Structure 1
Amino acid sequence: MKTRTTRAVRSACAGLLGLTAVTACGTSGGAPPAAKPATFEGRGPITYVAGKDTTGTVQAVLDRWNKAHPDEKVTFVQLPTDPDAQRQQMIQNAEIKSDAFTVLSLDAVWTSEFAAHRWVDRLPADRFPLGRMLDPIVETATYRGGLYAVPATSDGGMLYYRTDLLRRAGIAEPPTTWAEMKADCAKVKKLPEAHGMSCYAGQFQKYEGLTVNVAEAVNSAGGTVTDARGRPHLDTPQAKAGLDFLVDAVRDGTAPKEAITYQEEDARQAFQAGKLIFERQWPYMYPLAAKKDGSSKVAGKFGVAPLPGLHGPGASSLGGHNLALTASAENKATALDFIEFFTNEENQRFSLKYAPAAPTYASLYQDPALVKTYPYLPTLKRSILHAVPRPRVFRYGDLTAAVQRAAYAALTGEKSSAQALKDLQRALRHPMAE
């Protein structure tokens, strides 16, 4: 844990220095002092707060808890599917110190922000088997050497591609670079069965998914959104190459025109309808696209690979959700037990049967039975181990809003890539100026 927590301290304070150097770090440059572990007392009913569960998996896990704990039942509070709306509702609850929300399912990148504001409690690390989880995932749950959440799921972007069409075009392996992907598309689109198809899409709507896609593109071109000290580095050739990849894809027809309206589900439906040759997507799409009930036109005709980059395999943004305990909540003894239950290996294995969430335990990626059922697991593990977290900053909302504005302006032609990045560099240095 020493190396892991040391990195977490650097990363968290870096965000503070990059976005709120005066108000957050103080004149000495240090981040706010970490909170002491809370006193976990009180038993009784609690709430679990997360985005809408479209699979039914969460309620199935809650039912298991509620059956065994009739006097400490958990009520599921479902928030909108949009992550920005989820974050806002959680912050509003925290700011008024309400006890309506007990256990929060935080996007992994929000942990530092919620911990720094002391909206969530510091947790006792010895209660959880962190050593059995993948290191990059555990790091997202820490802040200044303390554990403020427990990883429940992870996530990594992968390149979905049409194996049948590549094979018919004489292409033996999926592309590892953007140039290879475009060249492969050109070959595939000469096939009669590929008539009317588009090459590639991701999630380009003006929301959190765009921040993810932009960060991936920048990192996959050898750049970085913020450096180790939290300073923005978006006025670089590498950052421009990354944003240019997305902008050029929309402008030259590599991506369909409607791609600038795509969130996860829009892109998934386009791929499953046979409209895309390649798509950047999370693992949740795999079993949906593989269904042979008529809902997917690509069942048995697709595979997954690491995301491509400028000169070789790219880097995914590290996704996932961590469970945190609201500082103003009641019945914290029950809540701590519930977090331990919800995040244990048995429940992650159970959940994997119903939804393809990326597990946090290393052993589940090596289980032969699971790999047979979910062939994407080895690729997903590589994606997670080589993923780059979105900037873990004190005021993440300001950062992601600035990235979305700048990138969307470039995608829609309102600004050039160079101007958008110049404006973004300035916005992240002076986030309150806009």
Structure 2
Amino acid sequence: MKTRITRAFQCSAVLAAAGLLLSACGSSGDDGSGQTGATSFEGRGPITFVAGKDTTGTLQPLLDRWNKLHPKEKVTFIQLPTDADAQRQQMIQNAETKSDAYTVLYLDVVWTSEFAAHRWIDQLPEKQFPLDKMLKPVVETAKYRDGLYAAPSTSDGGMLYYRTDLLKKAGITQPPATWAEMKSACAKVKKLPEAKDMSCYAGQFQKYEGLTVNFSEAVNSAGGTVTDANGKPDVDTAEAKKGLDFLVDSVKDGTIPKEGITYQEEDSRQAFQSGKLVFLRNWPYVYSLAGKSEIAGKYAVAPLPGLNGPGSSSLGGHNLALSSFAKNKATAVDFMKFYTSEESANYFLKEAALAPPYTALYDDQALVKQYPYLPVLKESILRAVPRPRVVQYGDVTAAIQQEAYAALNGSKSSAQALKNLQKDLQQKYAAQ
């Protein structure tokens, strides 16, 4: 692996460092974004990179490559929990104390507006990042009030993983495009002796950020919406109820196993890989890991199903942001350019099946041949619907999780949960 990294990054890292020697030591003048009076990116030396636990095993080799090339500007990985809510909370705590312990933050795409509005992260020199080469929905996740506050690193679109061997044996030639087709296909598969103890479907339904993602996908895939582009809620509708009902009814009838409401990403991946599930909603990172498991060669991906046809994923992914309280910001910008380069995106695609932000990688036929899921992933990202882009995102996602989980565990009806959620989100919207 290190040999591949050396070839991929030797050139880009040197060029990044050379290209920023002048601009990254800038003053309060033009910062390369065409704006004046912006952040002065000064200071060189050690920095930290703050992200959740690296479950793919691909991050440290990249950081080692940077450190070898920049021995006086080494980056140290501060590893946070795998749970997204815990990551966000620790980053906020660091910002509220104005600590310089965190330098470069690996932000979920929906955190950009919140962190920028609170001035916890710096506006970046837009012209120094190749945004014109990236998918437009991905670039939009890095902006706040038309300013660039993060550098797109990886995107994410949910996909439907399915067992090709079992569907074929059950006489099913195409993956399901609707929820009804998925349930019908699962019923046929479960008649097979080797599948009688399997469950049909799972996603991420524990009460954490993954539930906000899966709930939003169900609502959007039924023709509803959670909030509009301005953050105004509109979730107490017949369409939204159809989406939530699909999840609630699936738990009741066993389509989703009882333990499914405890699943986060890794739990659901392991269930699928160990032969417990016929279908799985998850992110592209699962693709390469499943290829190293007992179901290698026995699965494929398709667009998420919806009520009447292909559904809509929540737009996922991560961006790199620069803490407003960090030291050595010139080094940090260098590192951000290195980490978010097309070469890095290619590496993460090949080694961890992480969705790249760069359009060219999806259109590269050699890559498509090697990674046949890329067209499905690109479609997922282009069709994706962002989660609520609101300043107080933490409060909004907590409200969604509270009501959606209450419906899933049977303590509230779908109708009551949506009514309560609409009222709660409307109060938060009015208070902005």
Alignment partner, residue 77 of structure 1: 78
One-letter amino acid of the counterpart of residue 419, structure 2: K
Name the CA shift for 1:35/1:357 in 2 (closer, same or farther; >3 Å). farther
Alignment of 1:380-419 (within 5 A): 380-419=377-416
In the alignment, what sits opposite 2:279? 278
> Aligned runs of 1:29-428 on 2, under 5 Å?
37-291=38-292, 296-428=293-425
3-state DSSP of counterpart to 2:207: coil
Alpha-carbon distance in structure 2 between the residues aligned to 1:270 and 1:229: 38
Aligned counterparts of 1:276 and 1:142: Cα–Cα separation in 2: 38
Pair 218,35 (structure 1): closer, same or farther in 2 beyond 3 Å: farther
What's the TM-score once normalised by structure 2's chain length?
A: 0.89
Kindly state the Cα deviation for residue 35 of structure 1 after the two structures are TM-superposed: 11
Q: Deviations over 1:242-262 (max 9, x none)?
A: 100100100011111110111
1:35–1:208 Cα change, 3 Å: farther
Tell me the alpha carbon deviations over residues 177-229 of structure 1, each in whole angstroms, 9 at most, x when there is no partner.
Answer: 11111111122222222211111111111111000000000000001100133
Q: Are the aligned partners of 1:155 and 1:358 in contact in 2 as well (CA < 8 Å)? A: yes
Report % sequence identity.
Answer: 73
- Unmatched segments (≥5 aa) in structure 1: 1-33
Q: Does the aligned pair in 2 maintain the 1:318–1:384 contact within 8 Å?
A: yes
Q: State the Cα RMSD in Å.
A: 1.5
- Segments of structure 2 that go 5 or more residues without pairing to the other structure are 1-34
User: SS of the residue aligned with 2:352?
Assistant: coil
**CA drift at 1:353:** 2.9
- Kept in 1, the 8 Å contact 2:231–2:429? The answer is no
Q: Distance in 2 between matches of 1:263 and 1:327?
A: 31
- In structure 2, C-alpha distance between the alignment counterparts of 1:76 and 1:299, rounded to whole Å: 31
Quote how far apart the aligned CAs of 1:100 are: 0.6
SS of the equivalent of 2:255 reads coil
Distance 1:66 1:273 in 2: 37
Count of aligned pairs between the two proteins: 396
Determine if contact 1:36/1:122 at 8 Å carries over to the other structure. Answer: no
Contact persistence 1:152–1:342 (CA under 8 A): yes
Contact 1:365–1:378 under 8 Å retained in 2: yes
The answer to which of 127-136 and 36-45 deviates more is 36-45
CA contact (8 A) 1:35 1:118 kept: no
Q: State the shift of 1:53 in Å.
A: 1.1
Give yes or no for contact 1:157–1:307 (8 Å, CA) kept in 2.
Answer: yes
Tell me, in whole angstroms, the C-alpha distance in 2 between the residues paired with 1:392 and 1:216. 15
